[in-house]
Each structure stands twice: as C-alpha cells, then as structure tokens.
Structure 1
C-alpha cells in the first residue's frame, strides 16, 4: 500500500521493518501524497439560472492562489416575469435555456473544467413542474441543475462577499445590513459585532416591482413615489419588530442590477464600489431626469438593464432611509462567486475567514428570543445533548452537519410555548417550518422542526406516512429518530429547569450509555423520568441510557 502511495515499484524481496520505522514510512508517504494533492488546482464552473439572466463563471481554484476567475459569461433571459405570473416556463424559453446551457457545456470543455455546480433560484423555484423541467435540462444538456431554497441562496450570496475578506470583516464589526436584491424578493440581514442579528425575506424583488409598475402604466418620473408606497409598509414592520430604534451605518448591496453601476462610481476618498448616501441620492436624482439610452451610454451598460437598475436603486434608497444608513457598498459579487467559494471551502482549498455556522446558530437564537425561549435552559440542554451525540458516534453514524441540527434543536426546543403550553410540540413545528433559518435547506429545517416536535409529542413512524415527513427520505427520517432520542434524554435530565449539573460526561460501555452527572443536588426526579425516555433511546440505538451521580448530597 505504501509503495502504491509513494509511486514506488513493488519490492522484489521481503523487507522487515520495525514498527516505528513502518509508522514513519507510512506517515511520510501520506504526507507526500497530501502535499502533492494540495498543490493541484481545479477548474470549476459555477452556473446560475436566475430570474433575468443565465450566468456562468469559470474559476481556477488552488490552495496557493485561492479563487481566480477565468471567464464570466452572461445571457439575458427573462424567466422571472413569466414564472412569477404563470408558474410555468414556456416552450420558447425552454428551448433557449437548453441552447445556452449546451453552449456553456462546450465552453467548459474548452477550459478543461473538472467540476461544475449549477443552481436555479426563485424563477425556477416558483415553477409548478420544476422536477420535470430539471430532468429535461439534464437529459438535453448533461448539466444537472439543483434548486436552491431561498435561505440557501442567500447564504451563498452572503458567502460570496467573503471573497472581499478584509472589507467584509471590517464592516460587520459595526452595525451593518446586507441587502440581497433578487428578481422575486429581497433579503435583509442585520449584523452587529460580527454576529447575525436577524434576517428577513420580503417579496419586493425588482422584476415583481417592474411588473406592478408596468401594470399601473405610469411614467418613470413617478417611480420613486409609487415604489415608496409599495415597500415602505413592509419596511416599517421590519423596523418596528427588529431594529429597536437602532441605526445600521453600513449597507452592503448584492444584486445584478445596481451593483454594475456601483463598480463604475465611488464617493471622493473611497474605494471603488463605496458611495455615501448623500451622493447616492444625487445620482438617483440625476438618473430620474435622463433617458435610458443616455444612462446606458454614460455608464457603459446595456439599455435593457437601465430600468431594472433604476428600480433597484429606488429600492436601495427606501431601505437606506429605513435603516438610516450612511455608507453603501456594492462589492460586485454574484451567486456564482458564492458557489465557487463553497466548493473551495469544502475541498480545503481556502481557509474560511468567517464562521458561517455561527451565523446559523445566531439565527436560531434570534428566533428563540423572539418567541420567549429560555437561553439558560437551551445552554443546559446543549451541554447534555452534544456530549451524548459525540460519544455515541459509532452508534448513530451521523456527521458534523447533523450535530449542528441537534444544536439548533436545543436552542428552539420550547419556542412553541409562546403560543400554547398544551400543544407546544405542534406549535414548535409550525413556528420553525414558517421561519427562515439562513443557511439551512428546507429539508434540514424540516428535520429540526420534527426533532423539536417529537421532543414533546409521541413519535410518528415513517411507514404510517404522516404529513410531517412529506418531502423527506427514509434516511432523513432515521436522522430525526436519532436526534429525537438524544434530545429526549437531555430534556429528561433537566426536566425541573433547575440546572442542577456542573458537568456531564458520557461513556458507552457494553449495552449502556452511562451519563455521569457532577452534582450535589437531589436528582430523584431525573432518575425517575429518564426511564420513560430511555425506552425510545434503546429502541433507536439498541443501548440503554443510565444515570450515574458523581457526588452524593
């Protein structure tokens, strides 16, 4: 095996090495292979089937040079206006999609692309027969298009900003809002001290607004007034429930409409893409008096983008007023950048400069706070549930991502009590399923919702086909069962909410999971209740959880 790894020919005679030499030799062989691997590079293609255009970026990705964009191809195709109105894609657009994706495939071959990831967003997401559409595209072009949920899409957009690592890190230390403007909706994410405070989605996308304005048949001079009426009511709700009279000094803009304009201008004394709010207001005022052709010529952009850019600009203006922002920054990144960043991160080509999983947890904590969740109780459950998860890996076979879902479940374990103490499990489920958690797919959110629900209610089995498992696989169901079993045991050990334990340690021995509690308190209730929860844990894992007390009172 070592010979194969090192590229050596087979030995012609037996060689005897002592154990230490064998270890060193194998270690050297593996290190040599690893060092050779990380010096390699990937040619990666990121494809985005968006609301208004089809985009492909080709990157050379290596550990030494990070991400280097080799090519950026854009093709205008207005899918959003059609799908938002009808829920379908016409045959004409399907033929155009197929043709362009085939051309993208040929371009990939010319660059020697080794890996490709294609995603569709809201325009495809809102299509009724999306599975049929994606199957046809893959059959005709060889490119598999996966559909991103809104929270996954925004998370990738958010990751794309991390490519501008220094500026990104500096900005989010202060109160900063990231505004992700799409064709169908906008996402407002609020940060402070490098932490995500909240994120909200509103159906105020540029294409939707354009459709409404065209229906009203009013001139360009009335756009600011009409858009203000359309969006200010929703922004007022955002301000009332989430801003708490705070101002967000910095505004980061991600979009395909206004960002190209920002890349051509800046306020005096600022880098490209940065503009202070007063200068931005003056620019919009100038645009309102110019023809689209003149603006297109002055900024060297396509005439067809001018109206969308202007609508996006007015939308940014309304958000700037609501958040009282002073500095605007459009880094000029796209979803394709986020797709490439995530690929490079998974393949260990780059080291993350920001803990994105911490933002997922922060989002969960924000939801729990909104619904009166107990922060101290969540911490106690986490301190019990996560050690059980870690020490029983050989029993459950779950990974790091499932551990994150368990942590979220401990945070959101009692959010339903805000609505009803009698039906807490059902209310928890509905709150979680109705609330966006940035960075989680719909499937993952469903797993968390079911785990929290079954912590309070009788477990429902997959073969009984309950509605709560709709869209989930048998593997997802087993994940729910395993995480529920762990959370139930953790919940039983803090049933009185008195936080009796200083420390919890877990060991697996024979047919038992021994949970050692460091406490001087009376744990009669916990010992009694664990038996009720132990039966389900034993059913799922085949071992019985047993409490041991380290200190006697």
Structure 2
C-alpha cells in the first residue's frame, strides 16, 4: 500500500497549529511539516467569555495560510479540531460557523473526554522511547480550562478525573495581582493545593504513583525544551525544584529572557512549576516525563488506526471499558453481574448483526451501558434508571464523545423505563442516535432479564435464530423459572424492535 498524506489542524488556547503527516504501513507515521501561528484564543475565552472578532479574523487568516500549504503538498484530506478554548466560549457555534463560511474548513469541537483521550493516544502510540511502566503512573493533561489526571496501573487505565484548574483561567484570575511576588505565589499554592488534595483523598489513596507524565499545549513543550529532556529515565523531582528556584521572584519579562521563550508562555511557567511540585508531593512520584506528542499527533494516530494503515499494539478500547468499570465500582454496582451482562450483550449484538445493521462503535456503547446499567441504585433503588442517567452524564468517560455519552446514559435509563417515541423525546438525540438507543436498549433489557437472579445461570448459553425466534439453549441444571418469567414480561419491546420472539431450551441432566 502506498504512503498516505493527511493533515491535522488545531485551534488551541495560545496558537493555531497544523501538522502534515505521511503514513505508511511499514514506516508508520512521520511529521513532514509543521506550522504554528500564535493566536490568543484562550485569553479571550477566559477573560471575556467569548472569542472576539479580531481573534476570529486571526484564526481564519491562519487557516487560509494552512490551506495554501496543503495545496502545495496536494493534500485534500485534512481535519480541523478545536479544544476547550473554543468549546467554552459563549459564541462557540458562531465562531465555528464563521470559520467554515470564510475558509471552507469545518472545525470539529472536541468534548473534554475526546480531547484528553486523543492526546493520551498520541503519547502512548507515537512515542518510540515511551512505555507505560508496570507500576503506577499518573498522566496529567494540563489544559487552558482544566486538568485531566488519568491514573494507570499495570499498563491499563484505572481512573481519570477532570479538575477545573486550567492555566489560562489561573492567568486571568491573577491578572489583578499583576503577578507580584510573593502574593501571587502564595495564592497559587493555596488554590492548587486545595484541588490536588481533594483529588488525593478521593482517588490517589488507592494507588501508588511512581511517575508523572505531563502533557498539554505548547507551554508544556516549551518547558520540555528548557529542561532539555530527551527520553528515559525522565526528569527527576530535583530538576523541577531547581527550575522553580531559578524563576521564583522573577517577573514575566525576566523569565521570558532567561528561558528564551515567548512572553505569553513565560507568564504561565510559575503556575506549572507549582502544580508539578504539588503533584510530586501528593503522589510521591520519583520521575516526571514530558513527551513530545500533542493533540494533532493523537488524532493522526486515530486516523491511522481507523483506516488500518499500521499496527498499534495498545488496546485503546479497553481503556474506555476500564473507565466504565471504575465508575461501576465507585457507585457500588454489582461488578460480577455487570461483567456478565457485558459478555451476554456482546453475544446478542453479534447474533443480531443483520437485524440492527450497527458497527463496532455501537457494540462498544452497548458494552459500556451493560457495565453501568445499575450504578443508579447507589442513589435510589426505586428510580435506578433515572439516577444512573444523571451519574453517567456527570462523569467523564475518556474516549467517547458527549453525544455518545448521552446515548449510553439513555440506553441505561430506558433499560428500566419506557422509551418515549421520538416526537416526545427531549431533543438531546437526533433520529439516528434515537434509533441506536432503541436497538441497544432492547438488547440490554433482555440480557438483564436473563440474569434477574444475578446468578449467571445462562453463562454457557448458545444462541441461534430459528424461524422468528431466538433459541436460547442452556445446560444450567437447576431452576430458571425466575428468568423465564422476567424475560416474558420484558420481551415485548424487543419483539417490537427486532420482530423476534424467544424460546428457551434447558438441557436435561444425564442420568
């Protein structure tokens, strides 16, 4: 297969970026060009709440220049992304529309979970010298509007949490102090300590962290250059403390000159150093690693994976599943029952392929719904569906979009509640998404009915379709009356969706 060229653009908090990639099955992914223009998007969003006409014009000018470069390369396949600096602006929809009208480029605004997950994907898949260690690792994604801390144990995602403590927000909050030392340092420490200590009490207590990975916008790569980090074994805690001691008490202009970085980035070095030290103290990590990968790299990796242009050994889908299992555990869900339903739902999904016409992504959403289906009982035994919906919509699941999270939450909600027709729906789902929710909720209801006793009586079941029935065959030797009765009560919705009934066959014991 010939090499493929594509490009990814990103509207960040402080700059607009484009990277051009060449992807070949044997050589993997290479960056063949990189362009950057400084545009203060985050400053507008976090100080004024909206993106100004002047900044919008700068974004459009940058994209117009990028298109000229793409034409020179003969590239027609490109993607434009926007992160929190655009997403959190009050005029986000207008800005995205105007960019398309003026430049012809359609911008995809990533949800927080998508943005963080894509960045993590770039780190894990692109960094040749990076391997997730067996012992605990905390990946800290420092964004303009918030932090995302993801903890890995045994090379798998254990938990993730978003903290509303972003660098651009901190910068705007302290502009009133004019960065006067030591007032600003003291207040910064108090604010960061408060949020990190809360995270430590709720999430770090169950994990031993040996290393921190710092990722984020251009500022993080600028700090990486200062520390002249090139790979393993990472920056030590002492390296961070030495840099901090060098910049304490200095003005932004002095830091900019000393570290040879633009003024806009230099203003945020002190908060990042305070944050890094706070995290080191809270986790007692021994190393900090700052990779080179960014959001564009992660999206290019995602493109490469979806188009099967190279082999990626890390199973990213299992990270998404791990996030759901963490939520299930946090809200005291029956984990054995949830995992059993996940497996059973997958069997029904595969059996019904020609009836629902859905793909692997929808299969993943069904698995997530099965894992999370009873977490609402933590709040209310009488309204578990509604409570589970609220929990899911209030909790990060890295790797799925906001719309996909809405779909998962709706599948769970209508596992126990009657699904209203589309005209009576609350408008959060389009017609296509509504149909997917209906098809997957019907499967989940049946699976839940078949484990009404939570004793996994159908663990060995075999499924076949004969005439207009799904034939469920099990060798379970004891009584299955409860499951039969529950399935009979719950199967009407499934029959309405798929036009199939059920027949249960129980193999008799051999005498």
User: Deviations for 1:46-97, whole angstroms, at most 9, x for unmatched residues?
Assistant: 1001111111111111112211111211111111122234332211112111
Residues 129, 231 of structure 2: 8 Å contact kept: no
Give the alignment's TM-score, normalised by structure 1. Answer: 0.88
User: Deviations for 1:207-255, whole angstroms, at most 9, x for unmatched residues?
Assistant: 1001111123441444432211112111111111111264311000102
| 1:43-122 → structure 2 map (5 Å cutoff) | 43-122=5-84
**Which shifted more, 246-255 or 205-214?**
246-255
1:204 Cα deviation from its structure 2 partner: 0.8
Which of 427, 445, 455 is equivalent to 2:405?
445
| 1:238-317 → structure 2 map (5 Å cutoff) | 238-244=199-205, 246-255=207-216, 256-266=218-228, 271=231, 274-317=234-277
User: Deviations for 1:488-537, whole angstroms, at most 9, x for unmatched residues?
Assistant: 11111111112223401111122111122221011111111211211110
Residues 129, 232 of structure 2: 8 Å contact kept: no
User: Deviations for 1:441-484, whole angstroms, at most 9, x for unmatched residues?
Assistant: 0111111111111111122221113x3xx332111101101111
Please name the residue that 1:148 is paired with.
110
Residues 173, 194 of structure 1: 8 Å contact kept: yes
How many residue pairs get matched?
509
Corresponding position: 1:419 with 2:376: no
Structure-2 separation of matches of 1:71 and 1:296: 27
1:273–1:376: structure 2 CA closer, same or farther, 3 Å change rule?
closer
Q: What is the SS of the residue equivalent to 2:303?
A: helix
Please name the residue that 1:41 is paired with.
3
Structure-2 separation of matches of 1:111 and 1:301: 30
Structure-1 separation of matches of 2:154 and 2:303: 27
1:245–1:483: structure 2 CA closer, same or farther, 3 Å change rule?
closer
Please name the residue that 1:342 is paired with.
302
Please name the residue that 2:394 is paired with.
434
Please name the residue that 1:231 is paired with.
192
Q: What is the SS of the residue equivalent to 2:219?
A: coil
Q: What is the SS of the residue equivalent to 1:522?
A: coil
Alignment RMSD: 1.8
Give the alignment's TM-score, normalised by structure 2. Answer: 0.95
Which of 154, 160, 174 is equivalent to 1:193?
154
Which of 338, 344, 357 is equivalent to 2:317?
357
Structure-2 separation of matches of 1:113 and 1:348: 19
| 1:155-174 → structure 2 map (5 Å cutoff) | 155-169=117-131, 171-174=132-135
1:246–1:163: structure 2 CA closer, same or farther, 3 Å change rule?
closer
**Which shifted more, 211-220 or 482-491?**
211-220
1:127 Cα deviation from its structure 2 partner: 2.3
Structure-1 separation of matches of 2:313 and 2:324: 22
1:289 Cα deviation from its structure 2 partner: 4.7
Corresponding position: 1:179 with 2:166: no
1:58–1:173: structure 2 CA closer, same or farther, 3 Å change rule?
same
Structure-1 separation of matches of 2:472 and 2:91: 50
